[in-house]
Structure 1
Amino acid sequence: MTALLDEVWHDHWGRLLALLVAQYRRLDLAEDALADAFEAAARTWGDEPPRNPPAWLLTTARRKAVDRLRAEAIAARKQPLLVVDARTQEEAERHMADPGEPVLDERLRLVLMCAHPSLAPESAAALTLRLVLGVATDDVARLFLVPRATMAARLTRARKKLAATGVPFAVPGPDDLAARVPVVAHVAYLAFTAGYAPTSGDQPLRADLAGEAVRLVRVVREVLPRGPVLDALLALVLLQHSRRDARVGPDGGLVLLPDQDRSRWRHDEIAEALALLTPWVADAPAGTPYLLEALIAAEHAVAPTAEDTAWPRIAELYAELEAVTGSPVVRLNRAVAVAEAEGPLAGLALLDGLGLPGSHRLPSVRAELLARAGRDDEARAAYDEALALCGNEVERQHLAARRSALEGGA
């Protein structure tokens, strides 16, 4: 039952929440009612879940919302909100029957509401991940490299600010849409990252969440003004998502990029991505981060084998990306590329003084480079640090196996 609830949460949370917000025009009421419905499902479904779990949850959430309105003693004044807006409901049902109608996607309305200019970009991104895609608060916190308590407080403040501002649940006009592009793009990419870097649980990746993020990028690109940002972002997620079938081995373990079977990559998605990138390689504004990231992914995609990868070119692109973003994660990735191009000591030099609080990725990369440099004792200590920080079971197994290999070679 837990597995079914988790699946329904990941697949339907955003759509159910969006429908409730469309109906009641209150984010706090919709979110609380849907959470209550999931809690009721955990208590009552037992071994015989309903035939249509999402419909059951929507009906239950609506009842919970009505109960909350009555408890607030304002049911009479709020009664018009208890009637589903016919046009909104028809649009939502039409979209569920035809996902190719992106303008009518209620989740896009929810994304645009969360991307309101009254919110700071990181707060908007965190709130959208939490509300639209149902990413757990713990995972959102790790994605932003902050403690859980900090993220929980940030989400609460963002919700209150939206409520106080009275942000409408609607697609804004053309001028406002253009201003929302950077934030919505940031949100979509963070959602994609959450799918391919799950920081908790027993799955090495969540291709369903990543696929939903790809769909979100397509929806946004259809509705918002096009340009290098959205074209490059779609190319980037397509290139990374194209490797999903090769990322996990038959035993459920991680398969690193050099060891992946490239015949299992989705070459139709790679071709689509390269076609999106081609017009912008020469004409995009200098230092467009998503374009630089997409070009890095493209270098991997076009290499026939891992040995053919153009690591010096990738290292150059990462250096340019780091100059634009100043991101410690970019520095970490650059160190990996430099180590491949120039050797592990050159990569380790780039890690000096780098900090990624709470993340296991920095000590795990340092451990790998130390092992390649023959500094086994330091590598074992770094693996221990990474294992202590890693919350994903499959990644923990991978790190433990790498550490054990060092013991075997001692």
Structure 2
Amino acid sequence: MSADPAGLDTEKLYAARLQAVSARPYLASALYALHLVASRRVPTMGVDRYWRCYVSPGYVDRTPVEELASVLVHEVSHLLREHHARSDRYARDNELTGPAERLRMNIAADAEINDDAFGDGLIPIEHAVTPASLGLPDGQLMEEYLRQFRLGPHTAAMAWLDCGSGADGADRDWELGPDGADGLSEQERAAVRFRVAQGITGRPGDAPKGWRRWAERALHPPQPWRQLLGAAVRSAAAAAGTGADYTYGRPARRSAGLPGVVLPSLRTMPPKVSVVIDTSGSVSDAELGSALLEVGAIAQAVGGRRDLVTVFSCDAAVHLAGPLCQAEGMTLMGGGGTDLRTGFTRAARTTPRPDVIVALTDGQTPWPSTRPACRTVVGLFARERTWREDRPDYVPDRPPEWARVVDIG
């Protein structure tokens, strides 16, 4: 085996990468895009957001090739799933700061990856964080795990964990940063993710469910309308009396003027959303599939709180699809005529009352004559033209002025 001037056994690492590619061929583009950097300051391996992988020479020397292959897959998974950007967003939205919170994000990101990472040619990583090690169920996202655990005695053995800024968004002083050599540009990173997603969807059944879910979302990047939806949801959350509660977890600033007195602060909570999906015969299967992807985006707009999203399918009648647990497994009923007025009525009567109603439709429906008591967003599926055999001159009514309308697709 040969080593580079920094003492890194590169041949052993290349053998590990080859084994990782053999075990997970759909990740080949990503594994070969990693630039390996020797560093004696990283505990094992770590990545930055520019797709550099920092490797401890001592760790490589004492670790079998089989386990190194698993670690390489683990580290590139952080980058493909954009844990750095998601951690930054979660920290900003939840006003979290400090190294302890970043460690918690690294732990949650590892749990998202490791629930189905091993087997089929990859051996488990020693001391790997899994959902079971946190006492939590498999199959969830990093953001969902973050809401379910705090650091404590049960996570003390994970304090050494450091997968780099590519896992939790916090830059390390041992990283080369944006101006360092051999980093990938934003366009190059996006191209790698796209190639991997294509490889996963092109060979259905080869990848675990978590990777298939990721690939579907990667191939359907966020559309501008989702940004508008997020703005509407945030506006609902900021409305007077909406989702407000007091908490002592973060004392009010005015406590500083009252020595010895701790006053609670007012905390805004994510709003409750009712989604009405048009399942009439004029809506295609592809559009229904897109609607389910949009439901997942809506759940992200409320901070990943799937328990706050209720879905109704509606043609001429309304059917409860249920509280959102897994959008991929949701059954949508319908196929007849269209009258979303019944869906709006049912959605508005949901208990607890929704803060936002979102309707996903092709627009060929009568609209409610009165404005619901909450904010309303209408997502319209794209139509080049509308035609009905019984009414060749048919032009559907535009959604009411009180609804915020955005185009889907």
Larger-Rg structure: 2
Give the number of the structure whose residues are more often strand, by fraction. 2
Asked whether the two chains share a fold, i.e. TM above 0.5, the reply is no
Q: Normalising by structure 2, report the TM-score.
A: 0.29
